[in-house]
Amino acid sequence: MKESNEEAQYAADEKNRTDEEIGQATIGKFTQVKSLNQKLADDAYSNRVHFEGELRDTKTYLAWNEARQEEIHRKSESLLENQCYSNQLFVRSLKQGQEALDVIALLKQDLQGYIASGSEFDLAQVSKNEVKTVVDKLRGYSNIIHASEVQAFLQLADDSDSEDDEEEVEEEERSAPGRRRGTLPEQLVQVLDDLEERVEESLSNLEANQIEAAWQLAQWLSSSEAEVQHLQQEHERKALYADRCQT
C-alpha cells in the first residue's frame, strides 16, 4: 500500500512537472504571439498616422494647386484685357500723332510759301479766328504736344502785334542769346520743326514702350502656361496619391 502510494505520488509529481513544462512552453508561445501582435498593432498604428499626415498634406497641396491655377487664369484674363485696352489707346495715339504731324506739315507748307516768295508775313494781318483755329488744332493733341510748345507759337503771334522798330528788334535779338532769329515765317517754321521733332520722338517712344510691354506680357504668359501645365500634372499625380492614402 505504501509502495503503491509512493508510486502514485511519483507519477503525479512527474505529470505535474510535465504539465508545468508544457504550460510554461505554452505561455512562452502565447507571449511571443502577444509581442508579435503588439508589434504589428504598433506598426499598423504608426503606418496609419503616417498616411493620415500624408493625406492631410496632400489635400492641402491640392487646394493650393487649384487656387494657384485659378489665380494665374484670373491674372491672365486681367492682363489680356488691359493689353487689349492698351492696344486701343496705342492705335488711337498713333492716329492722333499722325494727325498732329499732318497739321504741322500743312502749317509749315503755308509758311514755306511765304519764305520762298520772300513776301512779308504778319500774323497781325491774319484774323484772330484763324489764329485760334491753328492753336485749337495744336491743343487738340495735348497728350503729344506740350502746352509750352503751343505757347511758343502764340508768343510769336503776340510779338508780331508789337510795333517795335527794326533797330530795337535787332538790338533785342543781339542781346538775347538763344532767341529765335530770322523773319517771322522762319521763326514759326522753327517752332513747328520743334513740334514735329517732339511728336516724332513721342511716337517713337510710344511704339518702343508698347513693344516692350507686349514682349513682357508674352514672356509672362509663356511662363505661366508652362507653370499651369506643371500644376495640372502634379494635381493629377497628387490626387491619385491622396486616393491611395485614403485607402
Contact 153, 191 (CB under 8 A): yes
Give the pLDDT score at 129. 46
Spans of all domains in the chain: 2-246
Cα(65)–Cα(40) distance, integer angstroms? 36
Q: Give every CB contact of residue 68 below 8 A, 6+ residues apart in sequence.
A: 231
Residuewise pLDDT in 10s, the chain (247 residues): 667 776 777 777 777 788 788 888 888 888 888 888 888 888 888 889 999 999 999 999 999 999 999 999 999 999 999 999 999 989 988 888 888 888 788 878 877 766 666 655 554 444 444 445 555 666 555 555 555 555 665 565 555 544 444 444 444 444 444 444 567 667 777 878 888 888 888 889 989 999 999 999 999 999 999 999 999 999 999 999 999 998 8
Alpha-carbon dihedral sign for residues 76, 81, 84, 89: negative
- 95: nearest Cα among 106, 107, 87: 87
Cα(186)–Cα(32) distance, integer angstroms? 114
Give the pLDDT score at 224. 95
Backbone angles phi, psi at 226, to 5 degrees: -65, -40
Give the pLDDT score at 26. 86
What letter represents residue 35's amino acid? S
